[in-house]
Amino acid sequence: MNLALFDLDNTLLAGDSDYNWSLFLIGEGLLDAKTHHDRNEQFYQDYKNGCLNIVEFLKFQLQPLSQHKKSFLDELHLKYMQKIIRPMMTDKAQKLVNQHKAAGDLCVVITATNSFVTKPIATAYGVEHLIGSDPEMVNGEYTGGVSGVPSFQEGKVTRLNQWLAERGTNLQDFETSYFYSDSHNDLPLMQLVTNPVAVDADDILTAHAKQHRWPEISLRP
């Protein structure tokens, strides 16, 4: 069995689920646009520039979850999926996932975005396994905090190693391991797999991929 890892935002998705979740909440009247929009934009720019403070960002992004019951949030996410996410899901991305599943590969979506937002998206692509930044829960409700190590930059390596160890294996046990990503933030993990693939990549990752002769593909329509 081989291992196929997929980044989510701007890789399998033609857009960013985290960034758009905030915009969606603003559109639903659940966040104040004036106070929230500018910070959301700055965090997104920091991410693209490779200088995102993931702890501060997750505090910002997860705080709205603590203001509502999980049952309400789950219903809200159904609307988010139909209105925002489904249009971002591409046939090319689904075909890629299907190819790996048909080959019998162990498929995992691994993303810095919190698992509340991303788990239903991974499921919609038919990927059972998700490694995301996990929101803290107490008594079945979100606290606004983070549980464990955020799966961002080197944290993705940490979280993947933890997940594989729980399954009684490690990355070296797979003869072939793939990681598809658009972002230079994922270079720590991309450099560890046998088959890194740059997908609609940012400028830094594109340059790195060309230097190291990594495959470059597009999953856009």
The 10s digit of each residue's pLDDT in 156-205 is 999 999 999 999 999 999 999 999 999 999 999 999 999 999 999 999 99
Considering only the top CATH level, what class is 3-217? alpha beta
pLDDT at residue 35, as a whole number: 80
pLDDT at residue 101, as a whole number: 98
Q: How confident is the model at residue 34 (pLDDT cuts 50, 70, 90)?
A: confident
pLDDT at residue 39, as a whole number: 87
Active-site residue among 9, 105, 134, 202? 9
Dist CA 25 CA 126 (whole Å): 26
7 within 8 A of 182, measured Cβ to Cβ = yes
Active-site residue among 7, 105, 182, 200? 7
**Distances, alpha carbon 142 to alpha carbons 120, 174, 177, 204, in Å:** 17, 36, 34, 36
Strand partners, 129: 108
**Distances, alpha carbon 76 to alpha carbons 64, 90, 116, 118, 150, in Å:** 12, 22, 11, 14, 24
Average pLDDT over the chain, rounded to whole?
A: 96
Please confirm, yes or no, whether 203 is among the known catalytic residues. no
The 10s digit of each residue's pLDDT in 45-93 is 998 898 989 989 898 899 999 999 999 999 999 999 999 999 999 999 9
Please confirm, yes or no, whether 134 is among the known catalytic residues. no
The mean pLDDT value for 144-154 works out to 96
Q: Is the pTM of this model over 0.85?
A: yes
